[in-house]
Amino acid sequence: MTQGIKACVFDAYGTLYDVQSVRTSAVELCGDKGELVTQLWRLKQLEYTWLRGLMQDYQDFWSVTWASLEFALESVGIAPSPSVCEPLMQKYLNLDLYPEAREALDSLKSYKLAILSNGSPQMLQALVKASGISHLLADVISVDLAKTYKPNAAVYALVEPALGIAKRDILFVSSNSFDAIGAKHFGFNVAWIERGGGPAVPTSSDVTSFEFFKLLRGRAEAFEHRADFRIRALTDLPSLLGEPKVQRAEARM
């Protein structure tokens, strides 16, 4: 299945970059509500991209991220003042790169590597520059060109003309299960990263906000479209592309 792959295209948020790395700043600014703000922010951020996509009322990811932050703060009783919002938003320009990301990208130099992300061009440029991986990438593609968000097919259609490679020869990599579904529906080969082996099964309804987040966003979707491969980390990709020994995705994703 991986024979003929010429390019690897990566989602940014949650795949190469850890969106949970805003937690430290959130706790500093919001105290014991920081963890809850972190999870609400990300969940509402994704929801707003889907709403704007469905309504065909595009605003860029910076605007979406700011609006979702305001929602999260107000939900927990914190005023969304500039002194709180601005430093949290700035963290989105310098999210932590996952520890294995640089090693994985460096080991895939024989492939054309790119990012396809919901991020605005300015956000992605800042993020890639701050993490020092720009020299490893052939392109950084923003949904801004399509004026809509994942999982709209118009977003995935940006990749082929940008890279000059047919979708059958592209491996799309994401840890976001909705993104994996969208990419597979479009026609890419898809590897879904099941970070941490997936969320633990809860013993009761008494779960933390992070455990709730993982239950909602860290599991494979119950959907007919499914990734071709499930992997645990970005560093599984070289062996996948050379000698496939990773677990095939289950029948339902």
pLDDT tens, position by position, 178-197: 999 999 999 999 999 998 77
CATH of domain 19-91: 1.10.150.240
Residue 247 has a pLDDT of: 46
Alpha carbon distance 114, 137 (integer Å) = 5
Global pTM value: 0.92
Select the more confidently predicted residue: 116 or 217.
116
Degrees to nearest 5, angle at CA 145 with 142 and 131: 15
Q: Where are the beta strands (DSSP E) in the chain?
A: 7-10, 17-18, 96-97, 112-117, 139-142, 170-174, 189-193, 229-231
11, 18, 60, 236: which one is catalytic? 11
Question: Is there a shared CATH topology between the 7-18+95-242 domain and the 19-91 domain?
Answer: no
Domain boundaries, the chain: 7-18+95-242, 19-91
Select the more confidently predicted residue: 224 or 90.
90
Put residue 49 in one of left, alpha, beta given phi > 0 → left and psi -120 to 50 → alpha.
alpha
Q: Write down the mean pLDDT value for the chain.
A: 93
Q: What is the pLDDT of residues 71-124, one digit of tens each?
A: 999 999 999 999 999 999 999 999 999 999 999 999 999 999 999 999 999 999
Pairing of strands 112-117, 96-97: unpaired
Return the C-alpha torsion angle 161, 2, 235, 22, nearest 10: 40
| Catalytic (active site) residue 60 | no
CATH of domain 7-18+95-242: 3.40.50.1000
With a CB cutoff of 8 Å and minimum separation 6, the contacts of 28 are 34
For residue 252, pLDDT over 80 is answered with no
- Taking residues 221-229, report their average pLDDT: 88
